[in-house]
Structure 1
Amino acid sequence: MNVLIYGSGQLAQMMYLSAVPLGIKVFAVNVADHTVVDPISKIKLDMSIEQAIDLADVLSVEFEHVPEDLLEQAQSSGKLYPSMEAILTGADRVREKNVLEKLQIGNSKHQIITHVDQIDEAVAQLGEKLILKASRDGYDGYGQWRLSNKQALPELKQQLAELDLQTVPLIAEQMVPFDRELSLLGVRSLQGDIAFYPLAENLHYQGQLHVSVAPAPAIDSQLTEQAQSAFTKLANEFDYVGVLAVEFFQVGDQLLVNEIAPRVHNSGHWSMQGADTSQFENHMRAITGLPLGNTQANGKCAMINIIGCDDYSTDLLSINNCHLHLYGKSVRAKRKMGHINLTGQTYPELAEVMTTLAKYLPIEHFPKLLDEADKLAQLD
């Protein structure tokens, strides 16, 4: 069985590593230069994309920002999972909002902005605290602008006036006073079977995910049912195959969808050590027609992103229940260099491992780690 992944970054690498024990061969497309590469070494392979598509039994993606000409070619093969429609929806906030409204899935109140003067109307309708998001190509806090009060509106409009909002509209969202951020990863098979991972709690810093804890603390059946209902509606709408991530704001006892990601997701990396079957293996299973694996968490798990640094001590590997995953990248500000998975049977046990880990890290690059450990230490 051969699988071709569009995108050749760390997610393709981790899919490759999960596929090897299943007898599945994975190769990847570098979408920047339209070459076919080995997902681990990044060495170019002696084949064209057309030849790779012919060789592959299944095509998939590691991220949603794949050029549309490549997606059209992939979709026309009849081998692409998830579908081009699902991928494009994940890549475009206007499409995403339209689908959420169509399916009556709760999300932040919003307006679509195609001209800078429409921001005045958005303020009138939604209030003066807004977050404006580029509808395409925004991630990790990029392509976002915040409005805290009306006095800052003229300066913001002047800044946004330089953008081509007809080509790439903005989504003006009411700034939600959420209690926390959660995400649900699920997987849907070719046969339509669905399996859910437990909800994860996500801690962001400067718009970028730093820590995920799974299962998220203080989750009741009502929150789980809301999240799984939203996932199921989306998965059925797209006849989805593979892993799908849905990110939420929790506001009291209500979940509002923040965004969707039609792929394996950073907030699911904990599953590599924290579940019987990782998100990467389950994606491979789903798109190749194999039975889905067990998604239940084995105890408690934390995933800590390594961002913009490499000056940690590899002696952290001496810590029990600590697993290091590096992506082989050169250091750059805000760049995800790898992640660390920690496990424990209870939240206090997990907190103890997190606190020990901090001794091996340049803590200024891990601003959420110790605060989260303190919180988890107080839980049963």
Structure 2
Amino acid sequence: MTKVLVLGAGQLARMMDLAGSPLNLDITAFDPRTNNVVHPIANEYTLGSLEQGINNADVITAEFEHLAHDVLEQCQASGKLLPSSKAIKIGGDRRLEKDLLESCHVANAKHKIIANYDDFTAALGELSLPIIFKSALEGYDGKGQWRLKSMAQAETIWSEMEEFIKQAKTSVPQAIVAEQMVPFDREVSIVGARNSKGEVAVYPITENHHTDGVLSVSLALPVEDALQQQAFEVFSKLTQALDYVGILAIEFFQVGDSLLVNEIAPRVHNSGHWTQQGADTCQFENHLRAICNMPLGNTELIRPTAMVNILGEDSVPEAILAIAGVSIHWYGKEKRAGRKMGHINVSGNNGIELATKLGQLGEILDTGAYPDLAEFAAKLTRKVSA
């Protein structure tokens, strides 16, 4: 039995454990909040220290990228960490991420790095409005971001960012990445796996819809070959440059027929949760297959599927279970406003059937918790019916 230690003890480690059990994998999780190794599903059961977890593991991986560098270095020194600490650090630091994209000649938004007021004024001179400012470290789900639409906001935004930088408790200095805002048509992502032999398997491009800066729906439908090929080429460039092993997610802005990289995530990803019901092999299993040196599983779309995030709610009406093709995945978390508590996967035999089911879901779920699901379903209905 192969033993896998996951750095992080949240829902992604939980879902890796559920996917790994049929493969006869023994999965534990390191909780950075307590510095204990725990059971991925029942975190209250402690199983020792990080050092003990490293010694017991055959392979180590991560469920999120914002990990202390000393933890990553300790795991890297064991020779068991996949993907590498370099890849994980790049995913957690937008400065390193931009360096990677530029070195691989991958299209992304025009940007400047800001560490002080002089950098800020220089960025205002080189970038045109609107500008989005993102924290280099510890930014996720819309946190650590500011939007400058008018120069009248500039000094106020700088004051907020300066205070943010001063209060940073990160192991390396915090900074801000200023980006030229891209007038995109839609946001999409690709999730794929690469193993130590360099073999690659990627899932179809997924369309992502955000509500208040947080992913609310991911939609997997058949995609145009040209767009899929573009995304595949970017995935291949980045994974080859990093000698990457595991699942990598890449978020894009689609502008016309072109894709610009928004950010990367060196791990299983929220926009890939649809694969649990929409593909033969889900992203969690393929990540484990890749890091455990097993053959990669089939990543083809077997039926149109959408993932709906459950945010800040610890229950849903049971009536949604009466809709064929609906599956619920709870994370076992304590309820908190805006927190990712679980997700709902919805599948149909074709785009119209999926849109109909999403519409039914929108009628049953609380509109306060899912404010634009019904609108999304209506737009999808128009799109697939055209």
**TM-score, scaled to structure 1:** 0.97
How many correspondences in the alignment? 378
Say whether the 8 Å CA contact 1:250–1:256 is kept in structure 2.
yes
Structure-2 separation of matches of 1:177 and 1:128:
11
2:169 paired residue number? none
2:337 paired residue number? 333
Structure-2 separation of matches of 1:276 and 1:368:
30
Structure-2 separation of matches of 1:308 and 1:247:
24
SS at match of 1:186: strand
1:210 paired residue number? 216
Say whether the 8 Å CA contact 2:304–2:350 is kept in structure 1.
yes
Structure-2 separation of matches of 1:93 and 1:46:
34
Show the 5 A alignment for 1:28-177.
28-164=29-165, 167-177=173-183
Alignment-mate amino acid for residue 101 of structure 2: L
| Distance apart, 1:297 and its partner CA | 0.8
> Structure 1 residues 299-308 or 111-120, which shifts more?
111-120
| Distance apart, 1:31 and its partner CA | 1.0
Structure-2 separation of matches of 1:311 and 1:224:
36
| Structure 2 residues without counterparts, runs of 5 or longer | 167-171
Say whether the 8 Å CA contact 2:135–2:174 is kept in structure 1.
yes
Show the 5 A alignment for 1:149-298.
149-164=150-165, 167-215=173-221, 219-298=223-302
Alignment-mate amino acid for residue 259 of structure 1: E
Identity %: 47
Alignment-mate amino acid for residue 279 of structure 1: Q
SS at match of 1:245: strand
Residue deviations 1:37-86 (CA, integer Å, cap 9, x gap): 00011123342222221211110000001111111111001010000000
Structure-2 separation of matches of 1:18 and 1:94:
33
2:14 paired residue number? 13
Q: State the 4+ residue runs in structure 1 displaced beyond 4 angstroms.
A: none
| Distance apart, 1:311 and its partner CA | 4.7
Say whether the 8 Å CA contact 1:134–1:144 is kept in structure 2.
yes
Structure-2 separation of matches of 1:61 and 1:139:
16
Say whether the 8 Å CA contact 1:242–1:284 is kept in structure 2.
yes
Say whether the 8 Å CA contact 2:113–2:176 is kept in structure 1.
yes
| Distance apart, 1:161 and its partner CA | 2.8
1:346 matched to 2:350: yes
Structure-2 separation of matches of 1:73 and 1:160:
32
SS at match of 2:313: coil
Alignment-mate amino acid for residue 119 of structure 2: Q
| Distance apart, 1:299 and its partner CA | 1.6
Provide the aligned C-alpha RMSD in A.
1.3
Alignment-mate amino acid for residue 359 of structure 1: E
Structure-1 separation of matches of 2:318 and 2:195:
38
Say whether the 8 Å CA contact 2:221–2:351 is kept in structure 1.
no
Structure-1 separation of matches of 2:186 and 2:209:
8
Alignment-mate amino acid for residue 264 of structure 1: V
